[in-house]
Chains A and B, each alone.
Chain A
Amino acid sequence: MAAENVLRIENVTMQFGGVVAVNNLSMEINQGEIVALIGPNGAGKTTAFNVVTGVYEPTNGRVQFQGNTIIENHPRGKMKKLYQGENPEVFSNVISKTPDRITKLGIARTFQNIRLFKAMTVFDNVLIATHMRSKANVFSAAFRVNAAEEAANREKAMELIEMVGLLDNAGDIATSLPYGKQRRLEIARALATKPSLLLLDEPAAGMNPQETEELAHFIVKIKDDFKLTVFVIEHHMDLVMSISDRIYVLNFGSLIAQGTPADIQSDPLVIDAYLGTGVS
Chain B
Amino acid sequence: MTEKNKGSLVSKDTGKAYASGDGKAFAKRKDPHRGRNLTLTVITSALFIALMVWYQKNAYDHSYAISIIERSAIYAVGAVAMNLLTGFTGLFSLGQAGFMAIGAYVTGVLTIPVTARQSVYYMNGIAPWLEKLHLPMVPAMILGGLAAAGFAALIGIPVLRLKSDYLAIATLGFAEIIRALLAAPMMDTITNGSYGINNIPGYKNMFQPLLIAAVCILVMLLLINSSYGRAFKAIRDDEVAAEAMGINLFRHKELSFVISSFFTGISGGMLACYMRSIDTKTFQVTLTYNVLLIVVLGGIGSVTGSIIGSFLINGGQEWLRFLDEPHAIGAFQIPLFRPGFRMVIYSLLLMIVVLFWRSGIMGNREFSWNLLFQRRRKKKAEGGET
B220 to chain A, nearest CB (A): 9
Q: How far is the CA of A141 from the CA of B68 in the complex (A)?
A: 34
With beta carbons under 8 angstroms apart, the residue of B230, B241, B244, B255 that contacts A138 is B255
Of B6, B8, B219, B228, the residue contacting A169 (CB under 8 A) is B8
- A150/B246 in contact, CB under 8 A: no
* Number of CB contacts from chain A to chain B under 8 A: 147
Q: A115-B240, A168-B5 are in contact. List 20 more A-B contacts (CB 8 A).
A: A103-B245, A115-B241, A117-B234, A117-B242, A119-B233, A127-B230, A131-B234, A133-B246, A138-B259, A141-B223, A142-B222, A144-B226, A146-B227, A151-B23, A154-B18, A154-B23, A155-B18, A158-B15, A162-B15, A168-B3
Indicate whether A15 reaches chain B with its CB closer than 8 angstroms: no
Q: What are 27 residue pairs bridging A and B, where the CB atoms are less than 8 Å apart in the complex?
A: A98-B248, A100-B244, A111-B244, A117-B234, A117-B241, A120-B237, A127-B230, A131-B228, A131-B231, A131-B245, A131-B246, A132-B246, A133-B246, A136-B226, A138-B223, A138-B228, A141-B223, A141-B227, A141-B228, A142-B228, A151-B21, A151-B23, A154-B18, A158-B18, A168-B3, A171-B9, A172-B9
B1 within 8 A of A: yes
- Give the interface size bracket for B toward A: 35 or more
Question: For the complex, is B11 an interface residue (Cβ under 8 Å from A)?
Answer: yes
Q: Does B66 contact A (CB under 8 A)?
A: no
Residues of B contacting A32 in the complex (Cβ-Cβ under 8 angstroms): none
Q: Which residues of B contact A164 (CB under 8 A)?
A: 1
Residues from chain A with Cβ under 8 Å of B234 in the complex: 117, 120, 128, 131
The 10 A-B residue pairs with the shortest CB-CB distance in the complex, in nearest-first order: A132-B246, A165-B1, A171-B9, A103-B246, A158-B19, A115-B241, A141-B226, A117-B237, A99-B243, A142-B223
Within the complex, what minimum Cβ distance (angstroms) separates B52 from chain A? 27
Chain A: which residue is nearest B13 at the CB level? A167
**Hey, which chain B residues are within 8 Å of A103, CB to CB?**
243-246
A141-186 interface (Cβ within 8 A of B): 141-144, 146, 150-151, 153-155, 158-159, 161-165, 167-172
Known contacts A131-B246, A138-B223: does B5 contact A169 (CB below 8 Å)? yes
The answer to whether B245 touches A193 (Cβ under 8 A) is: yes
The smallest beta-carbon distance between B214 and chain A, in angstroms, is 16
B243 partner residues in chain A, CB cutoff 8 A: 98-100, 103
Q: Is A11 located at the chain interface by the 8 A CB criterion?
A: no
Q: How far, in angstroms, from A169 to B4 measured CA to CA in the complex?
A: 9
What is the interface residue range for chain A against chain B? 35 or more
Asked whether, in the complex, the Cβ of A168 is within 8 Å of the Cβ of B364, the reply is: no
Closest chain B CB from A148 CB (angstroms): 10
Report if A68 contacts B (CB, 8 A).
no
Please determine whether B241 and A168 come into contact, CB atoms closer than 8 angstroms. Answer: no
- Chain B positions 326 through 360: 1 when the CB is less than 8 Å from some CB of chain A, otherwise 0: 00000000000000000000000000000000000
Q: Flag whether A130 is at the interface (Cβ < 8 A).
A: yes
With A109-B244, A127-B230, A134-B227: A144-B15 Cβ-Cβ less than 8 Å: no
A162 to B3 alpha-carbon distance, docked (Å): 11
User: B233–A136 contact, CB under 8 A?
Assistant: no
Whether the Cβ atoms of A171 and B1 lie closer than 8 Å is no
**Known contacts A155-B21, A169-B5: A132-B245 contact under CB 8 Å:** yes
- Please name the residue on chain B nearest to A194 by beta carbon: B246
Residue numbers in B under 8 Å from A99 (CB-CB): 240, 243-244
Name A171's closest neighbour in chain B (CB-CB).
B9
Of the listed residues B5, B23, B227, the one surrounded by the most CB atoms of chain A closer than 10 A to its CB is B227
Assembly CA distance A170 to B364 (angstroms): 19
Q: Chain B contact residues: over half helix, strand or loop, or mixed?
A: helix
Query: Is A167 a contact partner of B231 (Cβ separation < 8 A)?
Result: no
A130 contacts B227, C-beta separation under 8 Å: yes
Residue B249 lies at the interface, judged by CB distance under 8 Å to chain A: yes
Q: Does B238 contact A (CB under 8 A)?
A: yes
* Bound-complex Cα distance A119 to B226 (A): 17
Q: In whole angstroms, how far apart are the Cα atoms of A146 and B225 in the complex?
A: 13
Q: Which residue of B lies closest to A119 (CB)?
A: B237
B39 interface residue per 8 A CB criterion? no
Nearest opposing residue in chain B for A165, CB measure:
B1
Contacting pair B8 A172 (CB below 8 A): yes
Is the CB of B33 closer than 8 A to any CB of chain A? no
Which of these, A115, A132, A142, contacts B219 with CB under 8 Å? A142
Give chain A residues whose Cβ lies under 8 Å from the Cβ of B245: 100, 103, 128-129, 131-132, 189, 193
Q: Given A131-B230, A168-B3, A168-B10: A116 and B238 within 8 A (CB)?
A: yes
Q: How far is the CA of A129 from the CA of B243 in the complex (A)?
A: 10
- Whether a CB of chain B sits under 8 angstroms from the CB of A57 is no
B1-60 residues with Cβ-Cβ distance < 8 A to A are 1-6, 8-12, 15, 18-21, 23
Interface residue B153 (Cβ < 8 Å from any Cβ of A):
no
Known: A104-B246, A141-B228, A151-B21. A116 touches B241 (CB 8 A): yes
**With contact pairs A132-B245, A167-B12 given, residues A150 and B227 touching in the complex (Cβ less than 8 Å):** yes
Would you call A128 and B5 a contact (CB within 8 A)?
no
CB-based nearest A residue for B11: A168
- Contact in complex: A171, B8 (CB < 8 Å): yes
- Does chain B have a CB within 8 A of A234? no
**Known contacts A118-B237, A144-B222, A170-B10, A131 near B247 by CB under 8 Å:** yes
